[in-house]
Structure 1
């Protein structure tokens, strides 16, 4: 099996069997995201305990890239400190938006399968939707003094 086939299998596995599917009860962060260009919609819920993502849940509809990226993100970030999550978001954004690539940390190795998306700039937005949405939710949560928050992110709006 070639590398391209392996990456396709990883993406399809996360698309067909999303990890951490479902909303978290009584979340501290509930954030929805949308990509109006291709119709992707996601919801991320997070229960925070001691500045750590104790439980992270996802619901996603849309293209395979968006749903797979959302699933991979939820798997890679479950149980991480908020500062670790923000660092991972910055790393993933950099990997997807730069022509230069760095070595992937072990907990993010599945995400390497999305590097081929960089050849299609419109699809990069699909891969980044969950990450940008979660970043917005964390930003709002921290701006509100770590109080429960509901936020919305629309890809392409800043």
Structure 2
């Protein structure tokens, strides 16, 4: 399966039937992000353990398929990770969507690499990540 076909398949599947959508009971962290240019909005809720690792992440996304799929894949990928590793994953995803080359270890998030050819859609994929990084940074400031 070609990278573009895989991209379309994963994005459509995750947008139609997200695995990590909805509220998270007992969430300690809350964050949100929006893109006023296209109307995408994402709300995040996370549980964290005593070591600062994300134990669970859920999203409520109103937006395009790319944004919804990115939020869902992100929620799956960050479980069990601390903010340093999440920041690293974020940087790796930025590299992938800007260059079209997915760093090794990015996993299923590498499906967003073809967005380098569609610059206007990069924001859609990155909005959930920006909300997550902001939420984690806000938590550090408390």
Q: Is the 8 A contact 2:31 2:131 kept in 1?
A: yes
Could you tell me which of 94, 102, 111 is aligned with 1:113?
111
CA RMSD of aligned residues (A): 1.5
Q: Is the 8 A contact 2:42 2:62 kept in 1?
A: yes
**Unmatched 5+ residue regions in structure 1?**
145-158
Q: Please name the residue that 2:72 is paired with.
A: 71
Aligned length: 141
1:82 to partner: Cα distance = 2.2
Structure-to-structure mapping, 1:1-158, within 5 angstroms: 1-50=1-50, 51-97=52-98, 99=99, 101-105=101-105, 108-144=106-142
Alpha-carbon distance in 1 for matches of 2:2, 2:115: 17
Runs of at least 4 residues of structure 1 off by over 6 A? none
Whose helix fraction is larger, Structure 1's or Structure 2's?
A: 2
Matched residue SS, 1:9: helix
What TM-score results when the alignment is normalised by the length of structure 2?
0.91
Task: After superposition, give the CA deviation of every residue in 1:81-110 in whole Å (9 maximum; x if it has no partner).
Answer: 22211211122123223x2624331xx322
Task: After superposition, give the CA deviation of every residue in 1:34-61 in whole Å (9 maximum; x if it has no partner).
Answer: 0111110111111111211111111111
Alpha-carbon distance in 2 for matches of 1:26, 1:82: 20
Alpha-carbon distance in 2 for matches of 1:128, 1:10: 16
Matched residue SS, 2:32: strand
**Unmatched 5+ residue regions in structure 2?**
none
